[in-house]
């Protein structure tokens, strides 16, 4: 593995601006390695609405975003100071996208992307190591439970796991999907459109379940069945989100209650985060994110994104 210093830019702002930028939902998380909810993501300096597609929030008021052309964005509003670091390409010649990111509260993180790239940091992004994946397939998502145990979902049935912090990655059973979530060393889930895969042996074997979605008149079939993000709170309660729809399970993914978000902008949810059985935030590529504080009975617009094209990078 080679260690490389990544260039980044830092902007610091003070005052009441912070109050309108980043805010949290509900109580503290019980497990510091489980992503906390960040209600408002600061998009200042983002050059386009689809540049940063996926993000993770290791704790309140902190987020990591990744996207096209190897772009990485760190944001923090801790201790009354707003900090933003925008990283350049991970190494010379990399021209692919990043598709997955995971961080814990201690600064351990992984980013995965095109051409089998795995990047790891143990110091909150100040230095990075490229880890060997032994594949050139695009790596789509990464899920970890601590600084040693991680799983990566890639294209063309690439499914990798490590139990030593990424020193070595092992190919497990051939499997496909859009997103992956593990809550401990045994229990994990994969969402693949309206198909859910469940494992209780660390990913060695999987059981299939289906999210039943009624196709409405004149609704594109892709919009009706495409779930691309997943988040579980415990072995029973979890969420999935996708095009205009969010679903919740209370039995570990065997059955799902689907909610359609009626909005003329047709929300495209690229992420869902939650830290309790009643609260969740669905991250939307469009104008608004959606939040629930009553276990999904109602979903409300909880943040209006700025007009990104008019935001300066100062």
- The residue range of the domain holding 34 is 2-310
Q: What average pLDDT is seen over the chain? A: 76
pTM recorded for the entire structure: 0.78
pLDDT digits (tens, 9 = 90+) for 52-104: 667 787 877 788 888 877 788 888 888 878 888 887 656 666 778 888 999 98
Instruction: Count how many domains the chain has.
Output: 1
Q: State the pLDDT confidence band at 270, using cuts at 50, 70 and 90.
A: confident
* Per-residue pLDDT at 112: 94
CATH code for the domain in which residue 235 is found: 2.120.10.30
Report the 3 state secondary structure along the chain.
Answer: CEEEECCEEEEEECCHHHHHCCCCCCCCCCCCCCCCCCCCCCCCCCCCCCCEEEEEEEECCEEEEEEHHHCEEEEECHHHCEEEEEECCCCCCCCCCEEEEEECCCCCEEEEEHHHCEEEECCCCCEEEEECCCCCCCEEEEEECCCCCEEEEECCCCEEEECCCCCCCEECCCCCCCEEEECCCCCEEEEECCEEEEECCCCCCCEEEECCCCCCCCCCHHHHHCEEEEEECCCCCEEEEEECEEEEECCCCCCCEEEECCCCCCCEEEEEECCCCCCEEEEECCCEEEEECCCCCCCEEEEECCCHHHCCCC
Segment 113-148, tens digit of pLDDT: 999 999 999 999 988 899 999 999 999 999 999 999
């Amino acid at each position: 593995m080679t260690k490389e210093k990544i260039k980044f830019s830092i902007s610091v702002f003070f005052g009441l601006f912070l109050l309108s930028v980043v805010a949290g939902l509900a109580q503290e998380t019980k497990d510091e390695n489980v992503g906390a909810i960040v209600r408002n993501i600061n998009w200042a300096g983002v050059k386009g609405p689809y540049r940063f597609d996926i993000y993770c929030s290791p704790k309140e008021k902190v987020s990591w975003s990744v996207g096209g052309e190897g772009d990485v964005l760190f944001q923090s509003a801790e201790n009354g100071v707003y900090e933003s670091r925008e990283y350049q390409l991970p190494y010379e010649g990399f021209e692919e996208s990043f598709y997955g990111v995971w961080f814990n509260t201690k600064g351990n993180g992984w980013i995965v992307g095109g051409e089998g790239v795995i990047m790891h940091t143990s110091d909150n992004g100040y230095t990075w190591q490229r880890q060997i994946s032994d594949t050139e397939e695009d790596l789509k998502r990464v899920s970890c439970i601590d600084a040693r145990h991680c799983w990566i979902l890639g294209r063309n049935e690439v499914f990798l796991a490590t139990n030593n912090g990424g020193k070595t990655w092992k190919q497990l059973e051939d499997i496909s999907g859009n997103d992956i979530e593990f809550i401990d060393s045994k229990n994990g889930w994969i969402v693949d459109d309206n198909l859910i895969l469940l494992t209780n042996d660390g990913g060695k074997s999987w059981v299939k379940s289906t999210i039943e979605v009624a196709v409405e008149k004149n609704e594109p079939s892709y919009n009706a069945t495409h779930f691309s993000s997943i988040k579980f709170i415990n072995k029973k309660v979890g969420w999935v989100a996708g095009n205009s729809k969010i679903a919740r399970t209370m039995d570990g993914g065997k059955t799902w209650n689907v909610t359609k978000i009626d909005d003329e902008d047709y929300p495209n949810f690229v992420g869902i985060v939650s830290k309790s059985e009643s609260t969740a935030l669905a991250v939307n590529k469009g104008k608004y994110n959606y939040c629930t504080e009553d276990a999904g009975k109602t979903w409300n617009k909880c943040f209006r994104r700025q007009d990104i094209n008019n935001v300066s990078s100062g």
